Chain A
């Protein structure tokens, strides 16, 4: 296992089109996160899955955004009716739930999908 992978790496689309991104986490990781990163900013949290359950969604995730993680393995992030403001790098990260007193903090990031909406 070589880490978190994301596909596609780049996506150019026209305004109003739908796009879907895929994330394959590290196989034993039960937690998966989606972030969005724009120029000059750090990653901004979008949503979090524990196994197949989506436990939290940021208010950044409008109704046009939907994320799934069927069977608790890979995840998809879909953006419907894309807008130019959706242009950003979309990052996926995964982590293993900590046991005992260890804090579960180290998230492993994929290389991201760069979305450009024309």
Chain B
């Protein structure tokens, strides 16, 4: 049972336009959400996060929106650049009281191609 879903395996966008990557989750216990970016032959790198007490977090060209009632979040990249071409993983976490750490669940990823 996939708790974090990214229903678009791939996305192509023209350079300079907006890229919108979507993510849905099922577990209402998740209270912190993250996006990671992965280039080929490298491990994922942290991009941006949002707490469940917020509905928007912005960092430069990257903005994450959270709709708790719909259990949906999205990552907006404006303007998109060719260097943004990568696989983007949505991740969700909740604090595990037993082990005192944030248990992170990753989605399957969306491959973004930004066309020059």
Asked whether, in the complex, the Cβ of A105 is within 8 Å of the Cβ of B49, the reply is yes
Chain A contributes a number of interface residues (CB within 8 A of B) equal to 26
- Which residues of A, 29-50, contact B by the 8 Å Cβ criterion? 31, 35, 40-45, 48, 50
A3: shortest Cβ distance to chain B, in Å? 9
With both beta carbons as reference points, the residue of chain A lying nearest to B45 in the complex is identified as: A109
A45 to B104, CA, bound (A): 8
| A73-108 interface with B by 8 A CB criterion | 91, 93, 97, 103-108
In the assembled complex, B25 has its CB within 8 A of some CB on chain A:
no
Inter-chain CA distance A32–B41, complex, in Å, is 21
Residues in B whose Cβ lies below 8 Å from that of A55? 99, 101
Q: How far is the CA of A48 from the CA of B103 in the complex (A)?
A: 9
Nearest A residue to B46 by beta-carbon distance? A106
Can you list 20 A-B contacts (CB < 8 A)?
A: A4-B43, A40-B9, A42-B89, A42-B106, A43-B44, A43-B89, A43-B106, A48-B99, A50-B100, A97-B101, A103-B51, A103-B93, A106-B46, A106-B49, A109-B36, A109-B43, A109-B45, A110-B43, A111-B41, A111-B42
- CB < 8 Å: which of A41, A50, A110 contacts B108? A41
Residues on B lying within 8 angstroms of A by beta carbon are: 4, 9, 32, 34, 36, 41-46, 49, 51, 89, 91, 93, 95-96, 99-109
Partner of B4, one of A42, A93, A105, A111: A42
Known: A48-B99, A106-B34, A107-B46. 4 other contacts (CB 8 A): A42-B4, A56-B103, A91-B43, A103-B32
Partner of B43, one of A44, A56, A111: A111
